[in-house]
Amino acid sequence: MSARRWTARARGLRGAAAGLVALGLLATGCGGDGGSSSGGKVTIRYAWWGAKDRSVMIKKTVKLFEKKHPNITVKTDFAEYADFWSKFNTQAAGGNAPDVFQNSYAFLRKYGEKNLLLDLNKQVKEGNLNLKGFRNGLEKSGDIDGKLYGVPVGANTFGFFYNPAAFKKAGVTVKDGWTWDDFFAAAKKVRKSDGTLYGSSDNAGVMYLYDLYLRQHGKAFFTEDKKLGFTKDDLKQWWNTWQQHSKAGELVPGKKTEQAKPKATISANLSAAEFTWDNFLVRFAAETDTPLELGPLPTTDGKKTAQYLSSLMLSGSARTQHPKEVAQLIDFMTHDPEVGKIMGYNRGIPATTAQYEAYKPSGVDAKIAAYEKSVAGKLEPITPHPAGTDVAEAAFLRTYTDVTVGQSSVDKAVDQFFDEAESALGS
């Protein structure tokens, strides 16, 4: 995710954390069995986060849905990531969450335990939602402890973005099996060969990147028993390594990252590399004319990337009065071929075979498709995300950002992160 998006995520996740107390008031009295209105039209609300291009696309798909379901009216609402979750928490605390909303794996357990998510299993049994035809077992990704809290609309995986012209000028080749030492050496060479570009963005505060690094070492960000899967010394080593290269002038300084907003540092032509989800190539391509490529992740042993498929999902509100119509909308958005053609890879590669085959990728989408095909044999199961993941992720980014802008030391930031994360996880 771009620097701007990661920071936006942090603001949004802090807002999510702030809403926990209020959301606790809703921990009883789950709705969802109120049924739909008999006769006449039913109105449901559909909300999502994203940039304007995603909003335009989704509104087109909503019009298609309403045309095929004339008895259902869909009111739409979208916002950037931070604003979306802040608004969602306020609405949920008042018992007025959207009937259908975009969600992610990191939030399923948290909001499921708060009884805010509709268990869609009943709708599957009643034939209103089809779980067949999903790719790579993605239909199981929204299952939390036997309850179906989300249905994926797209899948993505982590990747390494780079400026091929800058890397070529520096004499660096990005290839399978390269190591983290190779990556930092490449950043140094790029910086030396081009005084206008830093070798890479500083992504050490990205939880998902650190998770991959830990998985390469046989650990993970979270353990099966819902605790942090690493020590303070582990994290100090990770952050100190990145800070060493940042202070050497090889990575984009924190203050320049802040100044680059709303763009990412790579699309603001400050850096020659960035780590984030592969589908962000679509957004980067819209933000810069500089050609960018997707390459393999650095490894520890030259083999294990520890990648997994993640996905954006659609969830329903447990308090919706129209569970059938909610399921029908989710089913349409995940299976209809025309929706696949409209959305392309904006939310990742389509999760169902019908949409995957309906959309013929070109340009940047073709690059994403080729990248996912290249890593298909390396994918592993996703790391379990406990309730409190969003708070831990926000703290991870914010405390490291404090280091990059000179407001904290690594040692203090690590202590602060552990205090906040362990409290959120109930450790």
Section 256-284 average pLDDT: 93
pLDDT in tens, 107-165: 898 899 999 999 999 999 999 999 999 998 899 999 998 999 999 999 999 999 999 99
**Residue 261, pLDDT score:** 84
Whether residue 18 is predicted with pLDDT greater than 70 in this model: the reply is no
Could you tell me the two tokens for 208? 């998902």
Could you tell me where the beta strands, DSSP code E, fall in 40-174? 42-49, 72-79, 100-104, 143-144, 147-148, 151-156, 158-162
Whether residue 246 is predicted with pLDDT greater than 70 in this model: the reply is yes
Whether residue 25 is predicted with pLDDT greater than 80 in this model: the reply is no
Section 343-372 average pLDDT: 94
Contacts of 10 (CB under 8 A, 6+ apart): 82, 393, 394, 397, 398, 401
pLDDT in tens, 395-409: 999 999 999 999 999
Pick the closest to residue 200 from 260, 250, 261, 242 (CA basis). 250
Residue 74: Cβ within 10 Å count: 21
Whether residue 205 is predicted with pLDDT greater than 60 in this model: the reply is yes
C-alpha dihedral over 132, 135, 139, 140, to 10 degrees? Answer: 130
**Residue 174, pLDDT score:** 96
The partner residues of 47 in beta bridges, in order of sequence, read: 77, 101
pLDDT-derived band at 39, boundaries 50, 70, 90: low
Pairing of strands 100-104, 42-49: parallel
Sort 271 into a burial class: Cβ within 10 Å, 0-12 / 13-18 / 19+.
Answer: buried
Domain boundaries, the chain: 3-156+309-378
Whether residue 31 is predicted with pLDDT greater than 90 in this model: the reply is no
Residue type, 377: G
Whether residue 4 is predicted with pLDDT greater than 60 in this model: the reply is no
Point out the least confidently predicted range of 7-16, 124-133, 139-148, 232-241.
7-16
pLDDT-derived band at 6, boundaries 50, 70, 90: very low
Distance of alpha carbon 223 from alpha carbon 298, whole angstroms: 23
Backbone angles phi, psi at 319, to 5 degrees: -100, 5
Whether residue 10 is predicted with pLDDT greater than 70 in this model: the reply is no
Whether residue 101 is predicted with pLDDT greater than 50 in this model: the reply is yes
To the nearest whole number, what is the mean pLDDT of the chain?
90
**Residue 427, pLDDT score:** 60
Could you tell me the two tokens for 207? 């939880």
Query: Contact 380/206 with Cβ under 8 angstroms?
Result: no
Section 20-36 average pLDDT: 36
Whether residue 390 is predicted with pLDDT greater than 70 in this model: the reply is yes
Whether residue 36 is predicted with pLDDT greater than 70 in this model: the reply is no
**Residue 81, pLDDT score:** 83
**pTM above 0.85?**
no
- Any idea which architecture 3-156+309-378 has in CATH? 3-Layer(aba) Sandwich (3.40)
Section 295-310 average pLDDT: 93
Please give the biggest Cα pair distance in the chain: 70
pLDDT-derived band at 37, boundaries 50, 70, 90: very low
Section 313-323 average pLDDT: 97
DSSP string covering 314-351, please? EEEBTT-S-HHHHHHHHHHHHH-HHHHHHHTTBTBEES
**Residue 377, pLDDT score:** 87
